[in-house]
Amino acid sequence: MDHIHLIKNRRKQTVFPFTILFEDDYVLAMVKPPGLPTANAPKGTDSLFTLVQRYLPAAAFVGVVSRLDALVSGVVVMAKTKASAAGLSKQFRERSVKKQYRAVCAGRFPAPLGKWVDWYDEVVRPTDPGKQATSKQQHAHVRCRVIKRAAEVCLIELNPSSGRRHQLRTQLAHRGCPIVGDRMYGSRLPFSPGIALHSALLECKHPHTGQEMCFEDPLPGNWKNHFPALF
């Protein structure tokens, strides 16, 4: 089937703090702002999930099939039917979904400008607050390159094939180039809100029609103000 580039369907909501890229009876794709959890927020606080619940009609089904850390911004997809949730979740499990991230990192990226490198790591799954510590390791792969360097920071493109929690944050920090603003993983440079990691693109198949879909939000507008030398 024909490929459709759904960024053209973007519309800005005035009540809810997220941008909708595409919506039909089966799928809702949007841009999550930094500082907002995807789901499972503490009682009495909002998440993208609870905001979508209020945006949709009462009792509508909302299926969380992809997640971003609260500090991370960018493209997120949710399902509007149980069948769509099952179909999309299967694509994520089978790693057929294409994901692209952009990050601004401090330190020296360990590869020449523009050269693609592949990192294969075993990352330790972080422990949720209040839970017993765990040392469970998970396989993580990402293909990445430097797009541009400026003084002590660089703009990175990252294409992970796996989706481990905190994966990109851990892999970059391990190589001495933590994401700007990510104090948990050693960044000393400030950034607000959130951290300088953004889900820029997500490609998957429509769970009902099988049509290829591409959702894109290249960069947050405030990045140009924070890092004028990179843009």
Q: Based on the number of CB atoms within 10 Å of its own CB, is 200 exposed (0-12), middle (13-18) or buried (19 or more)? A: buried
In this structure, are residues 16 and 55 in contact, taking their beta carbons and an 8 Å threshold?
Answer: yes
In this structure, are residues 167 and 182 in contact, taking their beta carbons and an 8 Å threshold?
Answer: no
Report strand pairing: 212-216 vs 197-205: antiparallel
How far apart CA 47 and CA 50 sit, in angstroms, is 5
Catalytic residue among 69, 118, 121, 217: 69
Question: 69 catalytic, yes or no?
Answer: yes
Report strand pairing: 197-205 vs 73-79: parallel
| Angle (CA) 47 168 5, round 5° | 70
Positions marked active-site: 69
